[in-house]
Chain A
Amino acid sequence: MSNLHESESGHRKVVLVGNPNVGKSVLFNALTGSYSVVSNYPGTSVEVLRGDATIDAQTYRVLDTPGMYSLLPITEEERVGRTILLTEAAEVVVHVIDARNIERMLPMTLQLIEAGLPVILAVNILDEAERLGMTIDIPLLSKRLGIPVVGAAFARKRGYEELCAAIASYTGPAGRAFTYAADLEQDMARIAASMHGRYSLDRRALALLLLQKDEELTAQVATAEGAGFTAIETALREVIFERRSDLHLTISMERRRLCRSLLDGVVVQSAGPGTSLADRLSDISLNLWTGVPLLLLILYFVLYVFVGQFGAGTLVDFFEGYLFEEWINPFVIHLGNDYLPWYWLRELIVGEYGVFTLGVRYAVALIMPIVGTFFLAFSVLEDSGYFPRLALLVDRLFKRFGMSGRAVIPIVLGLGCDTMATMVTRTLETVRERIIATVLLALAIPCSAQLGVIMGLLSEVPGALAIWTGVIVLIFIVIGLLSAQLLPGEKPVFYMEVPPLRMPQLRNVLVKTLSRMHWYFFEIFPLFVIASVLLWAGKMSGGLKALVSLMEPTMHLLGLPNEAAAVFVFGFFRRDFGAAGLYDMQTSGLLSATQLTVAAVTLTLFVPCVAQFLMMKKERGWGVSLGIFVFVTLTAFGVGALLNKLLIVTGFGL
């Protein structure tokens, strides 16, 4: 059987499937040579990646699916993965598994084979398995499964050639069926016999999925069978009742039994080495008494030293203070003055809020070094496998805020860019968690650009930084506790696989950092330009002035001078514009210590930048995002006003 499924583009398709963290993305990169995010955290690779590969003078379209554990989908990602398998008519499906956990992952290979899919099995991470004292007889496994099997360590470039050869010489699915226990076989036959429609899945496999109450496929079969579906439904109900037990469990246990007998003599485990350095480090990161100090140490070095001092200090000084101030800006402004005869155009390009002087300068000279250093550090931590450990370390604490430990990932990412973090909240399991995380990101998590400027600003006034930190942490805790109490919805449950700690791989780190920077520039950079244009339009039309004067009464409430209104209006377009505006006011001596502290706190809490708001709308919808917008605004100004009163009463800064 060699049916060449051809897509519209004429490419043969290769689909990569497998659990999270088995090296699918590394293989994808090796095959296609393009960018993709390799991630340790289950659920980060939500998107499906496509790329082209040339194998033996033939072009293939390669699809990288999100991590999936079983053909019976539970999460959104698994549903996406299965839909691809069932609808994309792949020439070859490469199932990538982790050799160390072959017994646990082989059941999915069986599912793929019995579904009638054209499977090649890639037993990856073989080098690590060998280090642990495992030997795997690849030819024997291939013979038993009846499909091509390749032993590999893709991160070490091992097995890549063999896999390409197997793809090039692939002749179609073997049509092998595995025999389950007699009673289960009978049940399957009974269901399959009542089906008459045409399906992309093998009927036996389909019967198994229906018996496990697969809602999506049940609906599809109902449509395909029409009136005949009643008979199937009756048969299903009868089998499920006769069994009086969970069929999912029965089937899982049967598959494990099959896999054990398939692997008998294939896998030989000899005594492995003792605890490695990675094991010991892992223990340190998981123990509360050593894990928390380690976390603080990481936060100090990553956020304060690397991003704060190096990124926001050294690099920004160079780009902004030297390159732009000394060279580029004077040159461009000079050019503009010489060659742009119209005032309005000159203002648009090189004016106070000009696209170049404000938009490009901020994006390139101020934001890029800060966000870039943050993304680099984040990618190193991500690739090492530290985040899942952090998640389970803080799980108990986060439960009080109505979120599972998983939510710590978007929260930490928010310290880099809140907009990206808001997008990442979609990896959280319940809607309730997503909303709480979105609120906290919008309110109490300052992004790296904002952090950089505010820290620089407040460090000049003794005590101000401590007050600012105290208030922000307090608000985070209070709002977290409150939303856990007030928001309805199911309580979060925490469970996950903990990937082993490993040395970050330079290539992975670079790919991740670059793809984040890439995203950042394509999503955010246009918004800088739009923000500049809007501000320009506001200035030219007088709308800006009107908006600013509308804000002025609020400033009095906070005890701030009228000029601060502009800072808050800018703050909405970019949080860091606001922070930088504050910086200008401070240097021109317009603010007292109290005023500076109040303004910094209010601005940090204040409504997210326009990009984050748009992302909130995209992820949560208009209703929720507008609700959060109003809530955050009221909280920010309320807290600001209260803090002002408190500081005046206690006589801070006088």
Chain B
Amino acid sequence: MKLTDKAEEILEALWIATEENGELSMSLEQLTAAADDAALQELTRLAFIEVKGTRVHLRHEGRDEARMAVRRHRLAERLMMDVLDLKGVHGDERACEFEHLLRLGVDTKLCTLLNHPTTCPHGKPIPPGACCEKARKTGDLGVVPLTELKAGEEGEIAYLATGDSKKMQKLMSMGVLPGNRFTLRRAFPSYIFRIGHSEFAVDAELGREIYVRRDGA
């Protein structure tokens, strides 16, 4: 079963209106759809929605599909913003087009790549998918900046993302290399971590650019 783009957008709008804004239904006018709209008919046939006069209701059967449509939309927004660096209206428009491509497991892959984000760039929650629940259970939060760790946690350095290559070279020549195991000794007032028998200190700015894989709980 593959919904049309328009049908997905109607589901999204209905889910946001009912689940997030506490409304009972939306009018046809709000959905910019005529009563005989093909997408509405498609959704009615699947029993996802119910049209009563000019009001459109999201049925229980359609909630899961709607939730996942919202999830795909917000994941697409994160991709535009965080990875492709497309911001503002331009990024939003591209996200609207891109979200429809995120089916058949592509959303799971993207979600894992983005490290299971919980909010969209506008601050709205991203409904968690099965992959997020699984990651939460196994405690594998993927690769996070050093600053996300608490004192006493251990892990392995994944990569260095510093934009200033001189600083990265310096860190690497000091022995802060991907693949090295470390223990975070302190997280305040500076980040102090131990590799082998040496201790290093970095401030929060640089700590955010050292990505680490933390040991499972």
The segment out of A51-59, A247-255, A616-624 that lies at the interface is A247-255
Cβ–Cβ contact B178 & A286, under 8 A: no
Q: Is the CB of B206 within 8 A of A104?
A: no
- Are B196 and A494 in touch, CB under 8 angstroms? no
Q: Which residues of B153-183 have CB atoms within 8 Å of chain A's CB atoms?
A: 160, 164-175, 177-179
In the complex the two chains form, is B179's CB within 8 Å of A495's CB? no
Least Cβ–Cβ distance between A357 and chain B, in angstroms: 50
**In the assembled complex, B197 has its CB within 8 A of some CB on chain A:** yes
Q: Report chain A residues within 8 Å CB of B168.
A: 246, 248-249
Please tell me if the beta carbons of A74 and B173 are within 8 angstroms of each other in the complex.
yes
Q: Is the interface of A mostly helix, strand, loop or mixed?
A: helix
Whether B166 contacts A253 by the Cβ 8 Å rule is no
In this complex, the member of A70, A388, A495 whose beta carbon has the largest number of chain B beta carbons within 10 angstroms is A495
Chain A contacts of B133 at CB under 8 A?
none
Does B190 lie at the interface of the complex (its beta carbon under 8 Å from any beta carbon of A)?
yes
**How distant is A181 from chain B, measured CB to nearest CB, in Å?**
15
Of the candidates A69, A72, A252, A494, the one whose C-beta lies within 8 Å of that of B190 is: A494
Q: Which of B164, B198, B200 has the most CB of A within 10 A?
A: B198
Q: Are A249 and B178 closer than 8 Å at their CB atoms?
A: yes
The answer to whether the Cβ of A103 comes within 8 Å of any Cβ in the partner chain is: yes
* A550 contacts B by Cβ under 8 Å: no
Q: Does B202 contact A (CB under 8 A)?
A: yes
From known contacts A74-B173, A252-B172, A256-B179, infer whether A288 and B189 are also in contact, taking CB-CB under 8 Å.
Answer: yes
Chain A residue numbers with a CB within 8 Å of B167 are 493, 495
Evaluate contact between B196 and A246: CB separation under 8 angstroms. Answer: no
A126 to B196, CA, bound (A): 15
Give the chain A neighbours of B196 by CB distance below 8 A. 100-101, 103-104
Q: Is B205 an interface residue (CB 8 A)?
A: yes
In chain A, residues 399-452, which have Cβ atoms closer than 8 Å to a Cβ of chain B? Answer: 399, 404-405
Is A498's CB within 8 Å of the partner chain B? yes
A252 to B164, CA, bound (A): 17
Distance A493 CA – B186 CA, assembled complex (angstroms): 18
User: Chain B residue with minimal CB distance to A490?
Assistant: B164
Q: Which of A148-156, A158-166, A389-397 has 4 or more CB atoms under 8 Å from chain B?
A: A389-397
Residues in B with CB closer than 8 Å to A129 are 197
B173 touches A493 (CB 8 A): no
A52 to B166, CA, bound (A): 36
- Across-interface contacts of B166 in A (CB, < 8 A): 74
Q: Is B195's CB within 8 Å of the partner chain A?
A: yes
Once the chains bind, are A132 and B190 in contact (CB under 8 Å)? Answer: no
Indicate if A654 sits at the interface (CB-CB under 8 A).
no
- Contact call A101/B175, Cβ cutoff below 8 A: yes
The answer to whether B197 touches A498 (Cβ under 8 A) is: no
Residues on B with beta carbons closer than 8 Å to the beta carbon of A246: 165, 168
B148 within 8 A of A: no
For A74, the chain B residues whose CB sits under 8 A away are 166, 169-170, 173
Q: In the complex, what distance in Å separates the CA atom of A22 from the CA atom of B72? A: 55
Question: Could you tell me which residues of chain B, from 7 to 51, have a CB within 8 Å of some CB in chain A?
Answer: none
Q: Are A392 and B169 in contact (CB under 8 A)?
A: no
Does B203 lie within 8 Å of A493, measured CB to CB?
yes
Please tell me if the beta carbons of B190 and A405 are within 8 angstroms of each other in the complex. Answer: yes
Separation in Å of the B190 CB from the closest CB of chain A?
A: 4
Question: In angstroms, how far is the closest chain A Cβ from the Cβ of B196?
Answer: 6
Check B170 against A494 for contact (C-beta < 8 Å): no
Within 8 A of A (CB), among B119-151: none
Complex CA–CA separation, A72 to B168 (angstroms): 13
Q: A72 contacts B201, CB within 8 Å? A: no
Separation of A436 and B164 alpha carbons in the complex (Å): 23
Q: In the assembly, what is the distance between CA of A69 and CA of B190, in Å?
A: 23
Q: Which of A60-94 contact B (CB under 8 A)?
A: 69-70, 72, 74-75
Q: Are A495 and B202 in contact (CB under 8 A)?
A: yes
- B206 contacts A72, CB within 8 Å? no
| Size class of the contact patch on chain A | 35 or more
A287 in the interface, Cβ–Cβ < 8 Å?
Answer: yes
A497 close to B (CB within 8 Å): yes
Give bound CA distance, A395 to B205, whole Å.
12
In the assembled complex, the Cα of A132 lies from the Cα of B196 at a distance in Å of: 11
CB of B199 within 8 A of chain A? yes
A470 and B196 CA atoms in complex are apart in Å by 45
* Shortest beta-carbon distance from B177 to chain A in Å: 6
- CB contacts (< 8 Å) of A248 on chain B: these are 165, 168-169, 172
Kindly list chain A residues whose C-beta atoms are within 8 Å of the C-beta of B195. Answer: 104
**B170, chain A: closest CB distance, angstroms:** 5
A182 at the interface (CB under 8 A from B): no
Residues on the B chain within 8 Å of A394, using CB: 189
> Is A104 touching B189 in the complex (CB atoms < 8 A)?
no
The answer to the question of A1 belonging to the interface, with a C-beta cut-off of 8 Å to chain B, is no
**B173 partner residues in chain A, CB cutoff 8 A:** 69-70, 72, 74, 108, 252
> Is B192 an interface residue when CB atoms closer than 8 A count as contact?
yes
Q: Which of B165, B175, B200 has the most CB of A within 10 A?
A: B175
CA distance in complex: A496, B193 (Å): 11
Would you give the shortest CB distance from B165 to chain A, in whole angstroms? 7
Closest Cβ of chain A to B145, distance in Å, is: 15
CA distance A392 to B190 in the complex (A): 6
> What's the least CB distance linking B201 to chain A, in Å?
4
List, in ascending order, chain A residues with CB within 8 A of B192's CB.
286, 392, 498
Q: Are the C-beta atoms of B203 and A495 separated by less than 8 Å?
A: yes
Taking CB atoms, residues of chain B closer than 8 Å to A132 are 197
- Tell me which residues across on chain B come within 8 A of A72, comparing CB atoms: 169, 173
* Known A72-B173, A395-B203; contact A253-B178, beta-carbon cutoff 8 A: yes
Question: With contacts A249-B168, A256-B179, A497-B201 known, what are 18 further pairs, Cβ within 8 A?
Answer: A74-B170, A74-B173, A100-B196, A101-B197, A101-B198, A249-B160, A286-B186, A392-B201, A399-B203, A405-B190, A405-B203, A493-B203, A495-B167, A495-B171, A495-B200, A495-B202, A497-B174, A498-B199
Q: List 22 A-B contacts (CB under 8 A).
A: A74-B170, A74-B173, A75-B170, A105-B175, A129-B197, A132-B197, A248-B165, A249-B172, A252-B173, A253-B177, A253-B179, A393-B189, A394-B189, A396-B190, A399-B203, A405-B190, A495-B206, A496-B201, A497-B198, A497-B199, A498-B199, A500-B199
Nearest 7 A/B pairs, CB to CB: A104-B175, A70-B173, A100-B197, A69-B173, A494-B203, A498-B199, A392-B190
**Using a CB–CB distance below 8 Å, which chain A residues touch chain B?**
69-70, 72, 74-75, 100-101, 103-105, 108, 129, 132, 212, 246, 248-249, 252-253, 256, 286-288, 388, 392-396, 399, 404-405, 491, 493-498, 500
